[in-house]
Amino acid sequence: VQRVREVLEEYRRPETVHVSLSHHSYDVLIGPDLISRAGARLAPHLPQKRVVIITDATVAELHLPRLLASFEDTGIRADVISVPGGEESKSLACYGEVMNQLLSTGIERKTTIVALGGGVVGDLAGFVAATALRGLPFVQIPTTLLSQVDSSVGGKTGINAAAGKNLIGAFHQPIAVLADSSALATLPRRQRVAGYAEIVKSGLIADPELFAWCEAHGHAVLDGDPAALAEAVRQACAFKAAVVAADEKEQASVGGRALLNLGHTFGHALEAELGYDGRLLHGEGVSIGIHLAMALSVELGYAPVEDLHRLDRHLRSLGMPVSFDWFRESFSADILLRHMTRDKKMQDGKVAFVLLRGIGKAFTTREISSETVRNLLIREGCCP
Tell me which residues touch ligand NAD (CB under 6 A): 56, 58-59, 62, 85-87, 90, 117-121, 123, 143-144, 146-147, 150-151, 154, 156, 165-166, 183, 186-187, 191, 194, 282
Q: Is 131 annotated as a binding residue?
A: no
Give 37 or 156: the residue with its C-beta nearer to ligand NAD. Answer: 156
| Residue 291 φ then ψ, to 5° | -60, -45
Q: Which of 240, 248, 271, 291 is catalytic?
A: 240
Q: CA dist 242 to 233, 253, 258, Å?
A: 14, 17, 13
Tell me which residue of 246, 282, 248, 251 sits closest to 266, measured CA to CA: 282
Based on the residue annotation, tell me whether 261 is a catalytic residue of this protein. yes
Based on the residue annotation, tell me whether 240 is a catalytic residue of this protein. yes
Based on the residue annotation, tell me whether 250 is a catalytic residue of this protein. yes
Residue 8 CB, nearest approach to ligand NAD (Å): 23
**Residue 313 is which amino acid?**
R
Q: How far is CA 14 from the centre of its chain?
A: 20
Q: Which of 264, 271, 284, 314 is catalytic?
A: 264
Bridge partners, 170 (sequence order): 157
Residue 142 CB, nearest approach to ligand NAD (Å): 7
Residue 194 CB, nearest approach to ligand NAD (Å): 6
Please check whether residue 77 is in contact with residue 46, taking contact to mean a CB–CB distance below 8 angstroms: no
Q: Which of 192, 234, 268, 291 is catalytic?
A: 268
Based on the residue annotation, tell me whether 134 is a catalytic residue of this protein. yes
Give 165 or 380: the residue with its C-beta nearer to ligand NAD. Answer: 165
Q: Is 201 annotated as a binding residue?
A: no
Give 207 or 284: the residue with its C-beta nearer to ligand NAD. Answer: 284
Q: CA dist 223 to 33, 144, 178, Å?
A: 19, 14, 22
Q: Is 282 annotated as a binding residue?
A: yes
Q: CA dist 209 to 18, 201, 257, 305, 329, Å?
A: 20, 12, 20, 19, 36
Please compute, for residue 37, the number of CA atoms within 13 A of its CA located in the half-sphere on the CB side: 16
| Residue 77 φ then ψ, to 5° | -75, 130
Based on the residue annotation, tell me whether 198 is a catalytic residue of this protein. yes
Residue 333 CB, nearest approach to ligand NAD (Å): 25
Q: Under DSSP, is residue 101 helix (H, G, I), strand (E, B) or coil?
A: helix
Q: Is 264 annotated as a binding residue?
A: yes
Q: Which of 250, 279, 299, 350 is catalytic?
A: 250
Q: Is 143 annotated as a binding residue?
A: yes
Give 186 or 372: the residue with its C-beta nearer to ligand NAD. Answer: 186
Residue 62 CB, nearest approach to ligand NAD (Å): 5
- What is the torsional sign of CA 94, 96, 97, 99? positive
Residue 372 CB, nearest approach to ligand NAD (Å): 27
| Residue 64 φ then ψ, to 5° | -65, -40
Q: Is 111 annotated as a binding residue?
A: no
Based on the residue annotation, tell me whether 268 is a catalytic residue of this protein. yes
Give 119 or 360: the residue with its C-beta nearer to ligand NAD. Answer: 119
Q: Is 291 annotated as a binding residue?
A: no
Task: Locate all alpha helices (DSSP H) within 262-332, ordered by sequence.
Answer: 264-274, 282-299, 305-317
**Residue 224 is which amino acid?**
G
Residues forming the annotated binding site for Zn(2+)? 198, 264, 282
Residues forming the annotated binding site for NAD(+)? 119-123, 143-144, 156, 165
Residues forming the annotated binding site? 119-123, 143-144, 156, 165, 198, 264, 282
Residues annotated as catalytic are 134, 156, 198, 240, 250, 257, 261, 264, 268, 282
